[in-house]
């Protein structure tokens, strides 16, 4: 075992953990998730921050809810029981209405794209990379004979 190599590996591993945890913590503050129970004909409006936002809408009904977006839709995507939008605008909002004959649950996740979210993402990725590099160096230090 090479003690100096193990110490360096553990230090890099800890730095990676701190970076990843910090990035995750910062990114989490920029994400808002809410669940709404909508009766037939009932709707909910969610206001967004000015600028670019991502909005994901998941629902449990057999038919998709009526979705009205105020703002420019830059990109959209849909799959089974989910819709996703990239929205840009000065005062954007999303209106979701249950247009079926039974109550539905709607989950709306909103992320405002900002420089802090970008930095947080980079911190998280760099932290994960450093963690695994530190783990590899630590293991190498343990199995290396001196």
What pLDDT is recorded for position 50? 87
Domain tally, the chain: 2
Contact 108, 46 (CB under 8 A): yes
Count of positions (residues) in the chain? 146
**61 and 106 belong to one structural domain:** yes
**Structural domain of 80:** 31-113
Tell me the whole-structure pTM to 2 decimals: 0.69
**62 and 118 belong to one structural domain:** no
Q: Which helix (H) or strand (E) holds 48?
A: none
What pLDDT is recorded for position 30? 81
The tokens describing 2, both together, are 């090479």
Q: Bridge partners of 99?
A: none
| DSSP assigned state of 65 | P
Classify 51 in phi/psi space as left (phi over 0), alpha (psi -120 to 50) or beta: left
**85 and 44 belong to one structural domain:** yes
**105 and 59 belong to one structural domain:** yes
CA angle 110, 76, 26 (to 5 degrees): 30
**97 and 119 belong to one structural domain:** no
Average pLDDT over all residues of the chain:
92
pLDDT in tens, 107-131: 999 988 878 888 999 999 999 999 9
**123 and 135 belong to one structural domain:** yes
The tokens describing 120, both together, are 């947080």
């Amino acid at each position: 075992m090479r003690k100096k190599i193990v110490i360096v590996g553990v230090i890099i591993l800890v730095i990676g953990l701190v970076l990843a945890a910090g990035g995750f913590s910062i990114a989490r503050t920029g994400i808002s998730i809410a669940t709404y129970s909508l009766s037939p004909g009932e709707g909910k409006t969610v206001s967004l921050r000015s600028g670019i936002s991502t909005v994901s809408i998941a629902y449990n009904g057999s038919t998709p809810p009526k979705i009205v977006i105020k703002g420019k839709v830059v990109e959209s995507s849909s799959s089974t029981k989910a819709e996703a939008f990239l929205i840009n605008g000065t005062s954007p909002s999303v209106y979701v209405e249950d247009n079926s004959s039974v109550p539905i649950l709607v989950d709306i996740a909103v992320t405002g794209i900002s420089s802090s979210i970008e930095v947080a993402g980079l911190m998280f990725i760099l932290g994960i990379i450093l963690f695994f590099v530190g783990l590899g160096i630590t293991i190498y230090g343990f199995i290396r004979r001196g």
